[in-house]
Structure 1
Amino acid sequence: MFIMITILSNCFFMTMSDPPSWSKTVEYVFTGIYTFEASCKVLSRGFVVGPFTFLRDPWNWLDFMVISMAYVTEFVDLGNVSALRTFRVLRALKTITVIPGLKTIVGALVQSVKKMVDVMILTVFALAVFALIGLQLFMGNLRNKCVRWPILNSTVFDDYNSTSSLDGTVGFGDMSNSTIPFDFKEYISNIENHYYLEGSLDALLCGNSSDAGKCPEGFTCIKAGRNPNYGYTSYDSFGWAFLSL
């Protein structure tokens, strides 16, 4: 019961966004209590040599790691140890080792996962197949956007002829006598030239096939810019296609 109260108190202090100045001292007290508990187990059962020693019990691995990381983060100068300090949240899992009922439930869950390995492999295989299908069908399609067209201030097209090029930064008019530089890629990538539905964070998706979404008047469908959801939703690679499923 004492260890349980200690763990809950420790968790309470970890949830505080603005802990008091004396919380550091309390942290040392918690670490000392955990160390004393582990030391009693080691003295009574031994450390690692023998069938019933401290580290032969997988539940004690968590205690050993929590205590070790506590001393490492407090007394060893490793520069920026903020990532190591995140291991302190594992102290909440010590409640599993204290309450026998929780150990039984967690043990049953672990055994269930072992029995479901074949099902999980089949699920991953099925998702991989559909990810490959999506990769072949939709690669790059989510980058299609409605871009304002014709370009505003269309006087830049007055001298444009078929010998000009829109590849990169070009000038309209005859290539040998270009006076108006125009960056086509920059224009179509500028979000101010994209069409957005009201309340939407991403530009309106479209397509150039007969059954695809159409752009409103004054816009045309061009592949430009990033994918939706800040670029995280796409079928441009197998990994992203798998995650999109």
Structure 2
Amino acid sequence: NQRTFIVISKGKDIFRFSATNAMWILDPFNPIRRVAIYILVHQLFSLFIITTILVNCILMIMPTTPTVESTEVIFTGIYTFESAVKVMARGFILQPFTYLRDAWNWLDFVVIALAYVTMGIDLGNLAALRTFRVLRALKTVAIVPGLKTIVGAVIESVKNLRDVIILTMFSLSVFALMGLQIYMGVLTQKCIKQFPMDGSWGALTDENWERFVKNDSNWFGSENAYPLCGNSSGAGGCDEGYICLQGYGKNPDYGYTSFDSFGWAFLSAFRLMTQDFWENLYQQV
């Protein structure tokens, strides 16, 4: 019962549109909508957008300069024009085959919205929103029909692997829980000098003790290269005058390698499964 019509481009690509009014005012025979449809299905329009995306990606990998930043206005204007053409040709969201009924156009909408949010505004700590510009590269998937078919096939393949993925996640969770119970806090163990009894740090009180052991000048090793230690047999021991204590300083690899929480333990288990520099983690534990 859906009122639709199709347009076949010169490249033999088939485009389906809703026969209802686009934006409530543009019927299928409206000159504005007909021009928008003509532009949308034309091969040169797709080629122009793909070229724009490629140039945009090249500029994004270049050092940030005022000239490069000024081009963002141009690219945002082109992407806005592309979305406006799609909305006038298809409609916005209410009917089937409209702009936001295609999940790939959600990406377009988000990218353009973030571009306007970040444009000309001092975001301060929210400047990380600019990193979402890299999503523009994915716009090529929505433009090239062949790429969209391939990506759709990959997504369907992943859906068929859901049972395998669930089993893998469950197995990793078991090993992550084992690592959490066995190695929690182990990777923060360091060789720390024994508290001096000559009075240089005051009397042996809890306050002075904490102040002493938290001072990294009393740790064995150089800055950011403190060797791990252990108190069990077979573990790396400390030199004379040092004791092995746990819970001081960051975990190795800038804090990314640890078993102190389920999330970090899961990441470490995943790292071992994929054999991503696994021998270093093996030596650490």
- The TM-score with structure 1 as length reference comes to 0.74
Contact map agreement 2:195 2:212 (CA 8 A) in 1: no
The reply to whether residue 13 of structure 1 matches residue 38 of structure 2 is no
Q: Deviations over 1:48-77 (max 9, x none)?
A: 2322222222222222222333334337x6
Q: Deviations over 1:108-155 (max 9, x none)?
A: 22112222222222222222212222222222333332223474xx54
Percent sequence identity is 53
Contact map agreement 1:202 1:228 (CA 8 A) in 2: no
Equivalent residue number for residue 174 of structure 2: 129
Larger radius of gyration: 1
Report the CA distance between 1:168 and its aligned residue.
0.8
- Give distance in 2, aligned partners of 1:4 and 1:21: 22
Report the CA distance between 1:19 and its aligned residue.
3.1
In structure 1, stretches of 5+ residues that fail to align are: 158-164, 170-182
2:258 corresponds to which letter in structure 1? S
Q: 1:213 to 1:97 in 2, by over 3 A?
A: same
Which deviates more, 52-61 or 220-229?
A: 220-229
Equivalent residue number for residue 206 of structure 1: 229
Contact map agreement 2:59 2:68 (CA 8 A) in 1: no
Equivalent residue number for residue 187 of structure 1: 212
- The TM-score with structure 2 as length reference comes to 0.65
Higher RCO, 1 vs 2 (CA within 8 Å, ≥6 residues apart): 1
Equivalent residue number for residue 233 of structure 1: 257
1:95 corresponds to which letter in structure 2? T
Contact map agreement 1:7 1:95 (CA 8 A) in 2: yes
- Give distance in 1, aligned partners of 2:247 and 2:113: 51
Q: How many residues align?
A: 219
Equivalent residue number for residue 174 of structure 1: none
Aligned-residue CA RMSD (Å):
3.0
Identify which of 177, 193, 201 aligns with 1:148: 193
Q: 1:167 to 1:130 in 2, by over 3 A?
A: farther
Report the CA distance between 1:34 and its aligned residue.
2.2
Q: 1:125 to 1:71 in 2, by over 3 A?
A: same
The reply to whether residue 60 of structure 1 matches residue 105 of structure 2 is yes
Q: 1:200 to 1:112 in 2, by over 3 A?
A: farther
